[in-house]
Amino acid sequence: MPDCFIVAGPPRSGTSLVAGLLHRLGVCMGSESGFLPANENNPTGYYEDSNFVFLNDAIIEKAGGTVWNPPSRNQVNNIIANPNLSARLQYLLQQREREEPWGWKDPRNCITVHAYLEHCNPGIIVCNRDPVLIAESMMLFNEGLEHKEAFNLATEYYERIIGAIRSEDLPYLIMHHELTLMDPQAAVSELMKFARVESHPDLIQDAIEFVVPPCR
């Protein structure tokens, strides 16, 4: 049984939508004061615990990559044992595991997930969206990206997180972005079942009403 939940997927795949649903259903995704603020690229909010975002950025940077040019799994594995990063990671998990149920969201989780597996037993929620649509959205978000480059990047993010799920036999749920927008009630039910949460009807209705395009 998972002791926490990791929301993962390429940038612009609907991770913020899923994290926002979990937040409304009573899964602690972090302190609201610690969420990265909404902006013009995501006006409904990111629901990203900034502590995990900064830690993931540090892992990726020390491994020699960036969000837009991710390091290989071997490069990530080589720096996982870095004492400073390891201590920072363990401290963060210890602080958050006091809150049940709990989890965190960050597209970078696709690249860094192996860093966490020694210290927690997560359930993985993968946000699935057509890579062509992801690429088009990425290009609006980062004008320096070409369409083929953005498409390949989305594909790589998916390959990395699915590879981790398979190699580590992790429990997982696939959330299809378009289906979530079409049938919010069914999507909310899926999340509640996977996260094993029983929410008040008012919270469930709030979550359903949160699903209004454009959600990212």
Within a domain: residue 215? no
Place 205 in a pLDDT band, splitting at 50, 70 and 90.
Answer: very high
**Residue 194 to residue 66: CA distance in whole angstroms:** 31
Within a domain: residue 83? yes
Q: pLDDT at residue 173 above 70?
A: yes
**Residue 135 to residue 150: CA distance in whole angstroms:** 5
**Contacts of residue 185, Cβ cutoff 8 Å, sequence gap at least 6:** 208
What's the whole-number mean pLDDT along residues 104-113?
Answer: 97
Average pLDDT across the chain, whole number = 93
Q: pLDDT tens for residues 74-89?
A: 999 998 888 888 999 9
Q: How many CA atoms lie within 13 A of 216 on its CB side?
A: 23
Q: What percent of the chain has pLDDT over 90?
A: 80
- Domain extent at residue 76: 4-210
Place 214 in a pLDDT band, splitting at 50, 70 and 90.
Answer: low
CATH number at residue 146: 3.40.50.300
pLDDT computed for residue 66 by the predictor: 95
Write down how long the chain is: 216
* Least-confidence region, from 9-13, 41-45, 123-127, 203-207: 41-45
Question: In the chain, how many domains are there?
Answer: 1
Within a domain: residue 15? yes
What's the whole-number mean pLDDT along residues 191-198?
Answer: 95
pLDDT computed for residue 212 by the predictor: 77
What's the whole-number mean pLDDT along residues 112-133?
Answer: 96
pLDDT computed for residue 216 by the predictor: 57
Residue 42, beta-bridge partner list: 39
* Least-confidence region, from 29-43, 54-68, 160-174, 177-191: 29-43
Q: pLDDT at residue 215 above 80?
A: no
Question: How many Cβ atoms sit within 10 Å of the Cβ of residue 140?
Answer: 11
What's the whole-number mean pLDDT along residues 145-161?
Answer: 95
Q: pLDDT tens for residues 22-57?
A: 999 999 999 988 898 888 888 889 999 999 999 999
| Span between the terminal Cα atoms of the chain, in Å | 28
Within a domain: residue 116? yes
Sequential DSSP letters for the chain: --SEEEEE-STTSSHHHHHHHHHHHT-B-S-GGGBPPPBTTBTT----BHHHHHHHHHHHHHTT--SSSPPPHHHHHHHHT-HHHHHHHHHHHHHHTTSSSBEEE-TTHHHHGGGTTTT--EEEEEEE--HHHHHHHHHHH-TT--HHHHHHHHHHHHHHHHHHHHHHT--EEEEEHHHHHH-HHHHHHHHHHHHT----HHHHHHHHHH--SS--
Closest CA to 159 of 196, 191, 206, 111: 111
- Contact (Cβ atoms closer than 8 angstroms) between residue 126 and residue 163: no
Q: What percent of the chain has pLDDT over 70?
A: 98
